[in-house]
Structure 1
Amino acid sequence: MGNLFHYDNPIWRFMGKVTDIFFLTLLWVFLSLPVVTIGASSSALYYVTLKMARNEESYIFQSYWKAFKENIRQSTVLWLIMLALGFFFAGGLYIWHRAQFQGAAFIFWLYFVFAILYLFMLILMPPLTARLDTDIKNLFFMTFMVMLKNFSWVLFMAVIAGCIIALGVFVFWPILFISAGVIAFTHSKILEYIIFPKYGWDSVSRVEAKN
């Protein structure tokens, strides 16, 4: 019975993880409110969850804030570029879906394919920004290459994110309070143990490399 209240009990470790994920989600939402900071907020979220995936987490707030400050300039530029691309693809899909002339359907599906690739890159870019110490051009290139070479795993990551959001919206709304943290944590497990080791990226983050 005494083991039930021991700090190393699996139940308490699980509850501690859920609590951390809840606070991470709150931090992500709060620091994403200005919209332009979504990139920096997301890379900071993955900085922490990647450490959690390796069971190396320390103080959640301090780690998150440190990564947010370190990555804010580059992550903001990347996010604004991706946001502009998002509007480009969304606008193209809308226009070509409504177009009536011959060949419009082909252009619509071409846009659709590129929009899917864009969404997959959007999933990978925050964790790669958190992990790699490189410039914007190389980040785009490496994100694209990692996405192509691990397409099935990135598709699985997209399905996980979609399912968690759908569960929160349509089944049990309190899930939304931990949704961002759960998505990032599950993605981080895949990245840390399946994708990153292929490229030797399974040990040092860009924030840690700067210090």
Structure 2
Amino acid sequence: MSSSLFRQDNPFNVVMGRIGDLAMLSVAWFVCSIPIVTIGPATSAACEVAREIIEDTDEGVLRTFWRAIKRRFGVNMLFSLLFIILFAIGAVDLWYISRQSGDAASVIYGVTLGALVIIAMMLSFVLPLSGRSKLSWWEQIRQSVRLSLMKPLLALGNVALIALPFALMWFVPGAVVWVPILWCVLGAGVSMWAVMRWTCNAFHLKPRDTPADHDA
């Protein structure tokens, strides 16, 4: 029995190897996202690596990540700027509205927050599927909107995973200390693995497929 513990296909070794891969993926994503403007290429590459891990076709996390981040770098940088601008506008709007008083301000705050969530849902498939896409940036956005309308709960789940660390830091006392560390060490990789897992299952994607291959 002891010899089976050292077998490469032992369930324990497989699970621990997968955790190690996702930890390396989290660190790679964090390091490449430090300039902020590169968060688009880093996220797209991390999602592509997560998908290859799911498909068991990766050739090493760091090697695959570096190859993926160079692919469609310009388009993903454009997505970075788009998301940063939208996030900044939304954050400023919510901050300004929150400083107002009265029932009208509360209603406007709720409507604005809801609109931001819907926009985030519509764009939630852009970066996860950008790694293998051959579409232009505008066609990529249109595809994301179409997929979000097909699977709104899946799109909402993607947004919830993105918002989870921010929500924890906002609502849980002391979370601002440990959440960033946890996400940099493991959480980011796990989140992207989950996004790609249920995206592939929802659209029945096989290795090397894209939603366009299924006319999704």
User: Which TM-score applies when normalising by structure 2?
Assistant: 0.81
Contact conserved, 1:120 with 1:154, CA < 8 A, in 2?
Answer: yes
1:185 aligns with 2:189: no
Please tell me the residue identity of whatever aligns with 1:204: R
* Range 10-19 or range 83-92, more displaced: 83-92
Residue in structure 2 matched with residue 27 of structure 1 by the alignment = 28
CA gap of 1:97–1:175, structure 2 versus 1, over 3 A, is closer
- CA apart distance, 1:104: 4.4
More helix by share: 1
Q: Which runs of 4+ in 1 moved over 6 A?
A: none
CA gap of 1:170–1:73, structure 2 versus 1, over 3 A, is closer
| 1:126 aligned counterpart, secondary structure | coil
C-alpha distance in structure 1 between counterparts of 2:209 and 2:49, whole Å:
10
C-alpha distance in structure 2 between counterparts of 1:143 and 1:6, whole Å:
42
C-alpha distance in structure 2 between counterparts of 1:43 and 1:88, whole Å:
23
Please tell me the residue identity of whatever aligns with 1:136: W
Please tell me the residue identity of whatever aligns with 2:133: L
Structure 2, unaligned runs of 5 or more: 211-216
Contact conserved, 1:28 with 1:45, CA < 8 A, in 2?
Answer: yes
Please tell me the residue identity of whatever aligns with 2:36: V
User: Which TM-score applies when normalising by structure 1?
Assistant: 0.83
Contact conserved, 1:54 with 1:192, CA < 8 A, in 2?
Answer: no
- CA apart distance, 1:93: 2.0
| 1:67 aligned counterpart, secondary structure | helix
- CA apart distance, 1:118: 2.8
Residue in structure 2 matched with residue 209 of structure 1 by the alignment = none
C-alpha distance in structure 2 between counterparts of 1:60 and 1:155, whole Å:
28
Q: How does 1:133-152 map to 2 (within 5 A)?
A: 133-152=134-153
* Range 18-27 or range 119-128, more displaced: 119-128
Contact conserved, 1:121 with 1:144, CA < 8 A, in 2?
Answer: yes
Number of residues paired by the alignment? 202
CA gap of 1:138–1:51, structure 2 versus 1, over 3 A, is same
Instruction: Report sequence identity in percent.
Output: 21
Q: How does 1:55-74 map to 2 (within 5 A)?
A: 55-74=56-75
| 1:131 aligned counterpart, secondary structure | coil
* Range 6-15 or range 113-122, more displaced: 113-122
How big is each residue's C-alpha offset from its partner over 1:92-150, in whole Å with a ceiling of 9 and x where there is no partner?
A: 22223334588544433332111112333454221121232111111111112222221
